[in-house]
């Protein structure tokens, strides 16, 4: 009897790339819903449109590059990039911001470098940084829950705002937006107030603005689930959050009036989603265990430096991109000791 020959292993295959990506997507759901709960339909509109655009650009590029479209779209990596990008963009941002950002993320940051697996930089963060430096005004308008509630902002009005870039008649940006915790802290400290005065504000919960705390908690939940499912390893999230908390703690102990608490840093801005969902993008991160720890530490420290002394209120995106640059070097110098070798791994 004749048989077909195939290569080992002759077992039921374990994971698939698409499966891993989809698990990350599932883990994003609770945090995304929390953000939508607080910041309105705009969050979901952003996610849906960005994912749509990202997939569109992906299909376009894959066709141009003459690769199998079905297989590539099946890996869901474009969906994930679009989703992560959307979460960084203020709800109610105009549609062209989404188009430019996802286009840059997928076309330039991903496919011009060779597509999935070959991009040195995190595509979603490249897209975000491009629109952040290009359209600072649009990127600074975060709606506030109470503003949206007062204006009884509907899904239809949200779509109108996103697609036209203009608020519906009779509405005013000032009434429906409010500074994010990172912005509040930054402006207050620049204008001579103390940290304490900011955190006493009624919109603050235990460590940060209540909404951001809750969104952070739910992203944390999703991140822990990813750890439990072994989709990500602990190295990057733990080292990033620990280093951020440690450096923030040091300055906070030195001068609690001028430097926000470690808890504020961890639960504000993009720290948690960055630690579990963005910095852990395996393609652009370091890949050795020790390399990943250093990678996380670098992101934590750079995030703090940019937040505290840099020109932008949050620094996670920049920190991730900067550490993407050194990831290959980290991998080179942090090779594990090979079994049966003494000293470092270099045989």
Partner 1 sequence: MQLHHFHGGLKLDEHKAESTARPLLTMGVPKYLYVPLSQHIGAQTECVVEAGDRIAKGQRIGRAKDYICANVHAPTSGWIRGIVEHPVPHPSGLSAPCIKIETDGRDRWGDDRLEPWRDWRERDPRSLRERVRDAGIVGMGGAAFPTAVKLNPRPGKRIHTLVVNGAECEPYITCDDLLMRTHPEAILEGARIVAHMVGAERVLFAVEDNKPEALRALTDAVASGEHDFIRIVSIPSVYPTGGERQLIKVLTGREVPSAGLPADLGMVCHNTGTLKAIREAVVAGQPLISRIVTVTGPGVREPRNVEALIGTPFADLVAAAGGYRPDVDRLVMGGPMMGFAVGDDAVPIIKGTNCLLATRPQDTPQPGPVMPCIRCGECTRVCPANLLPQQMYWFAKSKDFDTIQDYGLFDCIECGCCAQVCPSNIPLVQYYRFAKQEIWGREKERQKADLARERFEFRQQRQEREEREKAERLARKKAALAKKDSAPTEKKAAIEDAIERARARKTAQPAKERSAQDRERADG
Residues that bind partner 1 (CB under 8 A): 1-20, 68, 71, 75, 115-118, 230, 233, 282-283, 285, 287-289, 292, 331, 335-341, 345-347
Q: Which two tokens stand for residue 193?
A: 């107030």
> What is the nearest approach in angstroms of partner 1 to the Cβ of residue 331?
7
**Which string of b and e fits 151-188 if b means at least 16 CB within 10 Å?**
bebeeebbeebbeeeebeeebeeeebbbbbbbbbbbeb
> What is the nearest approach in angstroms of partner 1 to the Cβ of residue 74?
8
User: Which residue in 68, 63, 98 sits closest to 83, CA to CA?
Assistant: 98
- Nearer to partner 1 by Cβ, of 75 and 213: the residue is 75
- Nearer to partner 1 by Cβ, of 166 and 230: the residue is 230
Beta bridge partners of 177: 143
> What is the nearest approach in angstroms of partner 1 to the Cβ of residue 232?
9
Asked if 141 and 92 count as a contact pair (C-beta separation under 8 A), the reply is: yes
> What is the nearest approach in angstroms of partner 1 to the Cβ of residue 330?
12
Rg of the chain (C-alpha set): 21
Beta bridge partners of 143: 177
User: Which residue in 255, 244, 254, 260 sits closest to 302, CA to CA?
Assistant: 244
> What is the nearest approach in angstroms of partner 1 to the Cβ of residue 112?
15
Beta bridge partners of 209: 204
- Nearer to partner 1 by Cβ, of 2 and 200: the residue is 2
- Nearer to partner 1 by Cβ, of 97 and 285: the residue is 285
Asked if 279 and 320 count as a contact pair (C-beta separation under 8 A), the reply is: yes
- Nearer to partner 1 by Cβ, of 50 and 72: the residue is 72
- Nearer to partner 1 by Cβ, of 1 and 190: the residue is 1
How many angstroms separate the Cα of 308 from the Cα of each of 71, 204, 287?
44, 19, 29
Beta bridge partners of 204: 209
> What is the nearest approach in angstroms of partner 1 to the Cβ of residue 317?
20
- Nearer to partner 1 by Cβ, of 170 and 343: the residue is 343
Q: Please, how many CA atoms are within 13 Å of residue 196, restricted to the half-sphere of its CB?
A: 3
| Dihedral sign (CA 16, 280, 82, 229) | positive
> What is the nearest approach in angstroms of partner 1 to the Cβ of residue 243?
20
Asked if 269 and 316 count as a contact pair (C-beta separation under 8 A), the reply is: yes
- Nearer to partner 1 by Cβ, of 9 and 311: the residue is 9
> What is the nearest approach in angstroms of partner 1 to the Cβ of residue 72?
9
Cα-to-chain-centroid distance, residue 242 = 18
């Amino acid at each position: 009897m004749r048989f077909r020959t195939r290569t080992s292993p002759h077992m039921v295959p374990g994971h698939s790339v698409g499966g891993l990506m989809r698990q990350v997507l599932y883990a994003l759901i609770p945090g995304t819903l929390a953000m939508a709960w607080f910041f309105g339909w705009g969050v979901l509109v952003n996610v849906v449109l960005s994912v749509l655009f990202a997939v569109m650009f992906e299909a376009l590029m894959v066709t141009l590059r003459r690769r199998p479209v079905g297989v590539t779209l099946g890996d869901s990596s474009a969906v994930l990039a679009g989703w992560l990008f959307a979460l960084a963009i203020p709800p109610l941002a105009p549609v062209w911001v989404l188009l430019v950002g996802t286009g840059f993320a997928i076309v330039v940051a991903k496919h011009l470098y060779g597509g999935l697996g070959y991009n040195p930089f995190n595509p979603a963060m490249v897209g975000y940084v491009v629109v952040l430096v290009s359209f600072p005004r649009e990127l600074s308008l975060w709606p506030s829950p109470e503003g949206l509630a007062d204006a009884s902002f509907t899904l239809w009005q949200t779509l109108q705002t996103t697609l036209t870039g203009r608020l519906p008649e009779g509405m005013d940006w000032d009434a429906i937006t409010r500074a994010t915790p990172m912005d509040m802290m930054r402006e207050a400290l620049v204008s001579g107030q103390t940290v304490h005065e900011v955190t006493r504000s009624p919109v603050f919960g235990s460590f940060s603005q209540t909404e951001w705390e809750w969104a952070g908690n739910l992203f944390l939940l999703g991140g822990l689930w990813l750890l439990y499912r072994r989709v990500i390893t602990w190295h990057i999230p733990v080292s990033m959050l620990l280093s951020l908390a440690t450096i923030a703690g040091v300055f906070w102990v030195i001068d609690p009036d001028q430097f926000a608490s470690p808890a504020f840093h961890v639960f504000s801005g993009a720290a948690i989603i960055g630690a579990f969902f963005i910095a852990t993008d395996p393609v652009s991160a370091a890949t050795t265990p020790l390399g990943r720890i250093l990678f996380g530490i670098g992101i934590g420290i750079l995030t703090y430096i940019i937040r505290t002394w840099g020109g932008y209120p949050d620094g996670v995106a920049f920190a991730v991109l900067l550490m993407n640059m050194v990831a290959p070097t980290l991998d080179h110098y942090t090779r594990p000791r090979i079994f049966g070798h003494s000293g470092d791994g270099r045989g």
